[in-house]
Structures are given as structure tokens and as C-alpha cells.
């Protein structure tokens, strides 16, 4: 079976679709999104992600030659596009620390799906370098950004990023992203009981009416080093209740299948919030995301304990068809639904599972 992959600028690649066509996993889910970790490094040490006791001065980050090159990433994306991928999110680590990231954005923006559409390209960032990079990213073809902001209280913000990074600089970055047209902008707030849960209402009120969509994320047990405890998770239901008590809200139907956030809108028309309830209301049944790690492992779940080494294929001379077939094979065998199983797993089983760290697998 052949398929034409169009590229911007007129050139075309004639490609053969794998015999499986668009793969469906063992639970009937399609592959539509690819999250790509472009670096395992970060200038923050967020307490829930890269605790400084583990990611200290002598922590061994990946050497440069172990990272996928931009050309290698582009090849994986092209292969994914033949299988249904139409949305890509660049993440990490801190993606804006990857040198020349705009160049990768440009390469991805030039690709076209088999039906001739451009990719939807998003990037999740801590915002620290956005003031400098926003315009260049937009010019390269980035569609939108999600910026992580855990508090509007500078002291809490600095404590949570654990490197004393000032809130004001991230807010400047947000302004720059807005001015560059990298919207609709989403804000991610990871809510951790006893750390920043008192800031939920202030965050909601700050972003109400701005056009930014604030999403509250339940603290998750990604990796094995973030000291996750169930009693530090603030259930989304509680967050919704706290906001609704002051500003009435109603649920909004999802616009696309596989949306991670449940959406709510203010009754007075001042915009929307989202809640990502990976712990208390898992959404595995519609999860259509694969993840490509910094060194080219393909993972089919955020909580995976093993991946498939695409870098070995890429560097071993595999052609586009073999690469596409390999990804289709992995997806077809997928049965992940960790978040649905988490509550039934004992703490012992959870702690023995050797999950991959968030900064490496890509949040």
C-alpha cells in the first residue's frame, strides 16, 4: 500500500503504509499524539519532578551524542504521521534549553500529513526563557505553548522550582508568548497538598478573563524519585468545588477525543479552566499518546517501565518503512492503562515498578 507524504515547498515522498494501516492498540485506541522530550536537562528542580537531592550537581545527564538529533526526531515524526500522528508536543526536561530548538520546530512545521495538513505543534515550558525565545519560535512555526506556573506567590513559586527562580520572569515570558501569538496559551499548575494548594483560588482569579486556560494537575507518581504520596494529591473534585464556591462554573463537553483535561467554564463568560485528574479520574480509555524520550526510546505510557529503542533502528540504517512498521508494531501491542490500575496496585507494587523519570520520558 503506498501513500504520498507532501512536504511544504512542493517536494513529495511516496511512502508505503504498513500492511496494518492506521494501527489500533489492544484497547481500541488510535495513535494521534506524539510527545517528544528534546532534553533531559532543566534549569529548575521542581520538587515534584526533579528533586535536588537526586538531580544534584553530580547527576549524570545524557551526553550529547546519546540525544536524538533533529534529523532523527523528524524521521520518527514522519513515520508517526503515516500512522495517524497529527499533533506533536515538544517537552523535556526544559525544551527551551535544547540548542537550536527553533530549527527543529521549523523542520516539523514543514511536514504535511498524508491528507496534506500541517502538524499541530505545541511546546510545554517552564517559561524561564520564553521572553527571549517566543518570537523566534512563532516565526519557526510553533503553534502554541503551555507554561507551567505553580503559584502567584513569589516565595511559594521559588520554593517549588527550588532554584529560587523569580515568578516575575515567567510572567514576562507569558506576556512575550501572548504578544508573539503563541496561543491559545495554557497554564499548568501542579497542585501539591501543603505546598501550593492555598493558591488555587488566587490562580483562578488571576487568569480568569485573560483568555489563558488554567489547568490544575493532580500530583502524579511519575518516575520513582519524587516521593509521591497519595495524601499529597489534591483531588480535582476539591479544586472544582473551591472555585465553584466563589465563581460558578459548569462542565464543557470535550472538543477532541483523548483530551487529558476535563473542561469547566465560568457561567459569567470569563473563560475556562481544566482539571487533569490522572489519579482520581483516570482517562486511559481515550489515551492516544506515544512518547519519544530524549535518547529515542518509544514509550506508550507516561508510567512505562520499558520502551522500544528507535535510536538503534535509526542509527542501524533502518529505512522509513521499517521505522514505520516498528512503531505500528509497538502501538498494536499496547495495553497500557496504568492510572486505571494504580488504585488497585498495592504501594509495594507501585514502588517496585521501575518507572521512567518525567524529565526523561517527557511530561
Residues in contact with ligand SF4 by CB under 6 A are 42, 44-46, 49-50, 92-94, 126, 148, 278, 282-284, 287, 301-303, 336-339, 358-359
Cα 170 to Cα 126: distance, rounded to the nearest angstrom: 7
* 77 interface partner picked from ligand SF4, ligand SAM, none, CB below 5 to 8 A per type: none
CB of 247 to ligand SAM, least distance (A): 23
Residue pointed to by grid coordinates 496494518:
20
Residue 293 as a binder of ligand SAM (CB under 6 A): the answer is no
Cα 320 to Cα 308: distance, rounded to the nearest angstrom: 16
Among 217, 234, 290, 327, binds ligand SAM (CB under 6 A): 217
CB of 283 to ligand SF4, least distance (A): 5
CB of 295 to ligand SAM, least distance (A): 16
CA dihedral 184, 363, 327, 29 (to 10 degrees): -70
Which range of residues in 130-138, 216-224, 298-306, 340-348 is near ligand SAM by CB under 6 A? 216-224
Residue 219 as a binder of ligand SAM (CB under 6 A): the answer is yes
CB of 243 to ligand SF4, least distance (A): 23
Closer of 259 and 321 to ligand SAM (Cβ) = 259
User: Is 94:38 a contact under the CB 8 Å cutoff?
Assistant: no
Closer of 44 and 219 to ligand SF4 (Cβ) = 44
Closer of 205 and 232 to ligand SAM (Cβ) = 232
* DSSP code at position 354: -
* 226 interface partner picked from ligand SF4, ligand SAM, none, CB below 5 to 8 A per type: ligand SAM
User: Is 285:337 a contact under the CB 8 Å cutoff?
Assistant: yes
List the beta strands (DSSP E) in 192-333.
Answer: 213-218, 249-252, 262-266, 272-276, 289-292, 297-299, 308-309
Site for ligand SAM in 222-251 (CB under 6 A): 222, 226
User: Is 81:111 a contact under the CB 8 Å cutoff?
Assistant: yes
Among 220, 239, 313, 330, binds ligand SAM (CB under 6 A): 220
Our CA angle for 301, 305, 310, nearest 5°, is 75
CB-side exposure of 351: number of CA atoms within 13 Å? 9
Q: Is the dihedral of CA 84, 92, 152, 245 positive or negative?
A: positive
Task: Collapse the DSSP code of 294 into the 3-class scheme (helix H, G, I; strand E, B; otherwise coil) and give the result.
Answer: coil
CB of 49 to ligand SF4, least distance (A): 3
Residue 48 as a binder of ligand SAM (CB under 6 A): the answer is yes
Among 32, 39, 124, 196, binds ligand SAM (CB under 6 A): 124
CB of 228 to ligand SAM, least distance (A): 7
* 220 interface partner picked from ligand SAM, ligand SF4, none, CB below 5 to 8 A per type: ligand SAM
Closer of 35 and 75 to ligand SAM (Cβ) = 35
Cα 46 to Cα 190: distance, rounded to the nearest angstrom: 10
* DSSP code at position 178: H
Classify residue 235 by burial, with Cβ atoms within 10 Å: 0-12, 13-18, 19+: middle
* 50 interface partner picked from ligand SF4, ligand SAM, none, CB below 5 to 8 A per type: ligand SF4
Helices 154-161, 167-180: inter-axial angle, 10-degree rounding: 90
Task: Collapse the DSSP code of 362 into the 3-class scheme (helix H, G, I; strand E, B; otherwise coil) and give the result.
Answer: coil
CB of 223 to ligand SAM, least distance (A): 8
Residue 199 as a binder of ligand SAM (CB under 6 A): the answer is no
Amino acid at each position: 500500500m503506498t501513500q504520498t507524504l507532501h512536504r511544504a515547498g512542493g517536494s513529495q515522498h511516496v511512502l508505503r503504509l504498513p500492511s496494518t494501516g492506521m494501527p489500533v492498540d489492544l484497547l481500541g485506541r488510535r495513535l494521534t499524539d506524539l510527545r517528544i522530550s528534546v532534553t533531559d536537562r532543566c534549569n529548575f528542580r521542581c520538587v515534584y519532578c526533579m528533586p535536588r537531592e537526586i538531580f544534584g550537581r553530580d547527576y549524570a545527564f545524557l551526553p550529547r551524542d546519546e540525544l536524538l538529533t533533529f534529523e532523527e526526531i523528524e524521521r520518527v515524526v514522519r513515520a508517526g504521521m503515516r500512522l495517524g500522528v497529527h499533533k506533536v508536543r515538544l517537552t523535556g526536561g526544559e525544551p527551551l534549553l535544547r540548542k537550536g530548538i527553533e530549527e527543529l520546530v521549523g523542520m516539523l512545521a514543514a511536514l504535511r500529513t498524508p491528507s496534506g495538513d500541517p502538524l499541530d505543534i505545541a511546546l510545554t515550558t517552564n517559561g524561564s526563557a520564553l521572553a527571549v525565545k517566543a518570537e523566534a519560535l512563532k516565526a519557526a512555526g510553533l503553534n502554541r505553548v503551555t507554561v507551567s506556573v505553580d503559584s502567584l506567590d513569589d516565595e511559594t513559586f521559588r520554593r517549588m522550582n527550588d532554584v529560587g527562580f523569580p515568578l516575575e520572569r515567567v510572567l514576562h515570558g507569558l506576556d512575550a508568548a501572548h504578544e508573539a501569538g503563541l496561543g491559545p496559551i495554557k497554564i499548568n499548575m501542579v497542585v501539591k497538598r501543603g505546598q501550593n494548594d492555598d493558591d488555587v483560588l488566587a490562580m483562578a482569579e488571576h487568569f480568569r478573563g485573560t483568555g489563558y486556560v488554567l489547568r490544575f494537575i493532580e500530583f502524579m507518581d511519575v518516575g520513582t524519585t519524587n516521593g509521591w504520596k497519595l495524601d499529597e494529591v489534591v483531588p480535582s473534585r476539591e479544586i472544582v468545588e473551591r472555585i465553584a464556591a466563589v465563581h460558578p462554573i459548569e462542565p464543557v463537553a470535550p472538543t477532541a477525543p483523548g483530551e487529558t483535561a476535563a473542561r469547566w467554564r465560568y457561567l459569567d463568560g470569563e473563560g475556562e479552566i481544566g482539571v487533569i485528574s490522572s489519579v482520581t479520574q483516570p482517562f486511559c480509555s481515550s489515551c492516544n499518546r506515544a512518547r519519544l524520550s530524549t535518547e529515542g526510546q518509544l514509550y506508550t505510557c507516561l508510567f512505562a517501565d520499558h520502551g522500544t529503542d528507535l535510536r538503534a533502528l535509526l542509527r542501524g540504517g533502518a529505512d522509513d518503512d521499517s521505522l514505520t512498521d516498528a512503531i505500528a508494531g509497538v502501538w498494536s501491542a499496547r495495553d497500557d492503562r496504568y492510572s486505571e490500575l494504580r488504585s488497585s496496585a498495592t504501594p509495594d507494587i507501585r514502588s517496585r515498578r521501575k518507572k521512567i523519570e518525567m524529565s526523561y520520558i517527557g511530561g
